[in-house]
Structure 1
Amino acid sequence: MKKLLIIETEYVGHYLTGYIKYILRALDKKKIKIYILTSKETLKNGKGALKILKGEKVKFKIITIPTLKVSKKDFVSLTLYQLKLYFLIKKNFKSLNNKIKFDHIILTSMQRIDKIISIFGSPFGKIKFSGIFLGLKFHLQNFEIKSESTNHFLSKLLFNRLLRITTLTKIITNDYLLKKYLKNNHWKNQKKVFFLHDPKEFKYKFNKNYALKKLNLKKNKFIILVYGAIIDSKGVEELLQIYKYKIRDVHCLIVGKQFDSTKNFLNKNKFVENLKNNRNISLYNGWQSEKNEAIFFSACDAIWIGYKNYPFPSGVLYQAVSLKKPSIISKEAGFINDLNNKFKIGLSCNIHDPSDILSVIKKLKKSKYSQLIKKNTSKFLFQCNPSIWTKKFQEFIIKTI
């Protein structure tokens, strides 16, 4: 029997479940024994995420390592974090492999240690490994997409070195622009990189009236959902500016773990406090279970994807598509806007202009727009169905073990 080690050191929500549950579906449990290496904090605070994985009814064994945290999000702190994580994994893997003898390793968040692997080589010795890699930036300027990073040359150099590692078999990315860039520029090891749309679905589905009742929301309101990691790039502050027009028929649901300046804005700002008191908005801080997640998405009329300074793909957009819900999308150049231009799965607006946001909301209230988007999302679903992801994952990685 083959032995596979999946490494995901973050326990929070979609990090642990976002890809692993689909990997579990792709595996033949009669031929492969599965181990998951994660942080000790997983067993302490990630019970909800582990429950989701166990719901796949595929046996796996959890192995834990100490939890590492990033003190700051500057270049030096992130590099130091990667160094510590790399050597922590390398040290623990060596002792584990002496006992278990793994056949393949999968890193579900390769971006956490990619630069250090590029410099020091694989932490897994001669054992083949593959990974899921998100968030590259060096290629974006070739598609006239701005990004805040100033280390494009270094990032490009290190990614090239990463692909040259002989024991690296495959990388899966959710960014088709990266695949296009590698092909256009004739990268030597580009065949190691594969593009797959994010796999998203809902285990639970609820009637809208039921969901509204559970959330104590009125039927005559247009409900906009902001979901996921509530960080500054979500454009929450920009969205809430619509209430300066004293509208009464729009309610914003802001659901997910709140971070940094956004957390301060939502909990200490007088303007936001008034919105909460007037029941214009509802806040649900923290990671949500699959059932709660489905309730929030079922209750809403549109999903807010008005992200700023965010050129990357959005898992929330794919969730909206899976339920055929329209999205309100930022006109800022990036993967999301490019995807929307191709498939028309939402309406775009200038997120810095509250009147433009309101004009989009007004359009979405009309059945002709909502029906058109529903039709477009139905077509797009053929390309991003989770079953396609698991099938391709089997072809790219599992069959090579």
Structure 2
Amino acid sequence: MHILIIEPGSTGHHLIYLEKIVKGYLESGHNVTLCTLAPTQEHPLIKSLKQAYKLRITLACIPDRAYQEALTSKFSDIGREIKLRKIFRDVYKAINSSITVDYVFLPFLDYCLYSTGLLGSPFGKTTWGGICMRPSFHYQASGVIAPKPKLSKIKELLFKKCLSSASLDKIFTIDEILEKYITKTAPKIRTKIKYIPDPAELKGEHTFKSARTSLGISESAIVILVYGALNERKGIQVLIEALNNSTQLDDVHLLLVGKQSKKINEYIQAHALQFISEKRIYSLDRFVNTDEQQMAFAASDIVWLGYQEHFTMSGVLVLAAISGKPIIGAKEGLIGWYVNEEKLGVCIDTQKPTEIQLAIQQITSEKKLNSDTYKSVHFNNHNWGGFLRTLSFTENN
């Protein structure tokens, strides 16, 4: 089969998902046309795929100007989606005119999820599928603390209409609550949605001691890990504020792992002076490899998930759960839901520094750090092997 994969994103989990999915289809014996923005094709992960599979993978470009114009659409979210759907339709038509495309896959269907429900598949009669990560219209009805999204009922209607598409293979979701909600409220189309556990793996040989030694952190320090793309929404500012205003947390150190935004870097330099002077802050200000990722979690005592206005699933939550590290997390969204349901740590109001201080004190006073107390078997199947096997079980693959 010849599979067309369309993915404009080139950073963070977008790129990781893309590389794994493309490789999975290639290793299953399929030929792939990968359509991305031109700069993405220069990334080492994509170049290595091209080198390894040569004639079985073809690269095509999404027009950058049209993509940027779509992102800045003045006609709200649905206006942006309609423009992105048109870009994907045009890309598909151009490629399908020279090579017969058997299947189209969107690793991040959210680009055009609701516009596809509104206007139909952009891929004609060709079978297609994709992964959605952002729907939240079902949260409140499912017991998740979150604001009701704008046009919630319309989004639910469009989502279900998308599921009813005749050419749709399956929509995969990393939100198990969404699959249960659709099964309950729209049983006739429940076979068109499938839960796919958000993959997160820790591969490496670091122990607590070796990780601390490599990072230059004292074994007696209490280390809070903030991991991922470190931008303003990760709540780093309120975490630092809470620690600055406490005289009882002088043994707490911060381990910041991931590329920092300019604003976050500037904030740290301006407001974490005591941490810097006392050498209680450690930074790996870049995209880290798998060994460094495992080292970061091995070295930490607590994982910070006090994200601002983040309501969807978190791969960092899964990493914390499988490594047995207690979480201090926002009470809202799927982070709050999982922390409560699986007893993964403490939920806090991310606007209240005093709650952060109390959460740290509660976790450290329990004397359960670096034990199996916070491990959850619920996340044992959240790995790339299971993820790719689930994708390969679609009817048309």
TM-score in terms of structure 2 length: 0.86
Render the CA deviation track for 1:158-205: whole Å, top value 9, x for unaligned: 212212221111011111221222222235422211112211113434
In the alignment, which residue of structure 1 is the partner of 2:378? 380
- 8 Å contact 2:340–2:347 — kept in the other structure? no
Distance 1:181 1:70, change over 3 A: farther
The amino acid that maps onto 1:63 is: A
Question: Are residues 1:254 and 2:252 paired?
Answer: no
Render the CA deviation track for 1:281-337: whole Å, top value 9, x for unaligned: 33444433334333322322221112233221111111223333332223x242222
Task: Give the Cα–Cα distance (whole angstroms) in 2 for the partners of residues 322 and 39 of structure 1.
Answer: 34
SS at match of 2:267: helix
Could you list the runs of 5+ residues in structure 1 that have no partner in the other structure? none
SS at match of 1:149: coil
Q: Report deviation, 1:142.
A: 1.1
1:1-400 pair list within 5 angstroms: 2-18=1-17, 20-21=19-20, 24-25=23-24, 27=25, 29=27, 31-44=29-42, 46-47=43-44, 49-50=45-46, 60-67=57-64, 68-69=67-68, 76=75, 78-144=77-143, 145-147=145-147, 149-186=149-186, 188-240=188-240, 241-246=242-247, 247-259=249-261, 262=264, 265-266=267-268, 270-330=270-330, 332-365=331-364, 369-370=368-369, 374-375=372-373, 377=375, 379-395=377-393, 397=394, 399-400=395-396
The amino acid that maps onto 2:62 is: I
Distance 1:50 1:293, change over 3 A: farther
SS at match of 1:311: coil
The amino acid that maps onto 1:300 is: S
Distance 1:154 1:391, change over 3 A: same
- 8 Å contact 2:322–2:380 — kept in the other structure? no
Task: Give the Cα–Cα distance (whole angstroms) in 2 for the partners of residues 84 and 369 of structure 1.
Answer: 51
- 8 Å contact 2:19–2:46 — kept in the other structure? no
SS at match of 1:122: coil
Could you list the runs of 5+ residues in structure 2 that have no partner in the other structure? none
SS at match of 2:98: helix
Task: Give the Cα–Cα distance (whole angstroms) in 2 for the partners of residues 337 and 355 of structure 1.
Answer: 18
Task: Give the Cα–Cα distance (whole angstroms) in 2 for the partners of residues 320 and 64 of structure 1.
Answer: 36
